[in-house]
Amino acid sequence: MADKSKLDEFGLIAELLAPLADNEAADGLTDDAARVAVPQGHELVISTDTLVAGVHFPEHGDAALVANRLLACNISDLAAKGATPFGCLLTLGVAETWGRAFVTSFVEALGQGLKAYGLQLWGGDTVRSQTAFVGLTVHGLVPHGSMLTRGGAQDGDDVYVTGTIGDAFLDMPESGAAYAAPTPPLAFGLGLRGLAHAAVDVSDGLLADLDHMCRASGGGMVIEAAAIPLSEAGRSHGNLAELVGAGDDLEIAFTAAQDKADALTALAEHHGIGLTRIGSFQKAAAPQAVLRDADGADITPQQRGFRHF
């Protein structure tokens, strides 16, 4: 079922990935399963995200972009849970379009990312596919019972978001840095353990992800449109509805008690992260996020988020 060039490509992938799996659990990828011991007093946080050619990345796109976005969207999930990256399994759906240069460049970017995030490569699966795809299942660690969830928001909490909103969307046409090499606020997320009540990573679009927290926490949010942090490009764009509905920001939205404001500001400054209070959470309100202008008028757009399909 395989021609010679394909076999060589798969051999190349195995050869290139083996040095990245320099950890006890993977045993150098010599076996087909990883053995993982979880440190005492800790729980695992597990998430998986797959990117498909033509849907989540350009079919003839840059290999480093694919690796960076794959890592970032998975690490973003861990960051919003307050989970320290631990290890991962990689699935590669290899299409005809993947030559030696693509594979080499992909693995190089992957290796740099794994190192930067402190994420071990434990194993994976490489398969042939007409449509290229890449998938990662990531495992993070949290001290027992301390995982941040969408569901912990409490009455009167402030609502915050890191960074700026809409830049990945604005960058897409030019494959700018916010889209091509996103850097989820991981260290800040770890610092949120014990400070935040609820958290979510902004991947479907700010409003859609705030809605997730509202539904899980059983309450509503009032979000001040003027407070939503925008980059210069975002302000020039001007269409706020589009920016809060676009996905892929990979920032963290969260709620915390009002008396945590100073501690949160200090944490953000420590990690060089932009942090903005954008609204508040009320238990009594309907379970969704409502966008208000300066006069208090409801300007919530109908399109509440980007669906990744």
Token pair belonging to 287: 């379970």
Return the range that interacts with a copy of itself (CB under 8 A); candidates 29-37, 254-262, 278-286, 293-301. Answer: 29-37
Residue 290 and residue 220 in contact, taking contact as beta carbons nearer than 8 Å: yes
Residue 164 and residue 229 in contact, taking contact as beta carbons nearer than 8 Å: yes
Among 29, 70, 94, 240, binds a copy of itself (CB under 8 A): 94
Helix (H, G, I), strand (E, B) or coil at 142: strand
The burial of 287, by beta-carbon neighbours within 10 Å (0-12 exposed, 13-18 middle, 19 or more buried), is given as middle
Token pair belonging to 195: 């400070």
Contact flag: residue 288 with a copy of itself (CB under 8 A): no
Among 36, 172, 261, 263, binds a copy of itself (CB under 8 A): 36
Among 4, 60, 101, 144, binds a copy of itself (CB under 8 A): 144
Token pair belonging to 205: 């679009």
Residue 67 is inside which H or E element, if any? helix 63-81
Contact flag: residue 237 with a copy of itself (CB under 8 A): no
Among 89, 153, 246, 253, binds a copy of itself (CB under 8 A): 89
CB atoms within 10 A of CB 7: 10
Among 147, 192, 202, 208, binds a copy of itself (CB under 8 A): 147
Using CB under 8 A as the binding rule, the residues of this chain from 170 to 209 that contact a copy of itself are 200-201
Return the range that interacts with a copy of itself (CB under 8 A); candidates 96-104, 129-137, 285-293, 294-302. Answer: 129-137
Among 20, 47, 188, 249, binds a copy of itself (CB under 8 A): 47
Contact flag: residue 124 with a copy of itself (CB under 8 A): yes
CB atoms within 10 A of CB 25: 17
Return the range that interacts with a copy of itself (CB under 8 A); candidates 54-62, 167-175, 189-197, 259-267. Answer: 54-62
Q: Which residues pair with 281 in a beta bridge?
A: 221
What's the half-sphere exposure (Cβ side, CA atoms, 13 Å) at 172? 13
Nearer to a copy of itself, 47 or 68 (CB): 47
Rg of the chain on CA atoms, in Å: 20
Contact flag: residue 252 with a copy of itself (CB under 8 A): no
Among 117, 133, 188, 281, binds a copy of itself (CB under 8 A): 133
Mind spelling out the 3-state secondary structure of 73-131? HHHHHHHHHCCEEEEEEEEEEECCCCCHHHHHHHHHHHHHHHHHHCCEEEEEEEEECCC
Contact flag: residue 38 with a copy of itself (CB under 8 A): yes
C-alpha span between 277 and 261 (Å, rounded): 9
Contact flag: residue 305 with a copy of itself (CB under 8 A): no
Contact flag: residue 55 with a copy of itself (CB under 8 A): yes
Return the range that interacts with a copy of itself (CB under 8 A); candidates 76-84, 99-107, 233-241, 265-273. Answer: 76-84
Q: Which residues are near a copy of itself by CB under 8 A?
A: 1-2, 6-7, 10, 25, 27, 30-38, 40, 43-52, 54-56, 77-78, 81, 83, 89, 91, 93-94, 122-131, 133, 135, 137, 139-140, 142, 144, 147, 149-151, 200-201, 216, 306-309
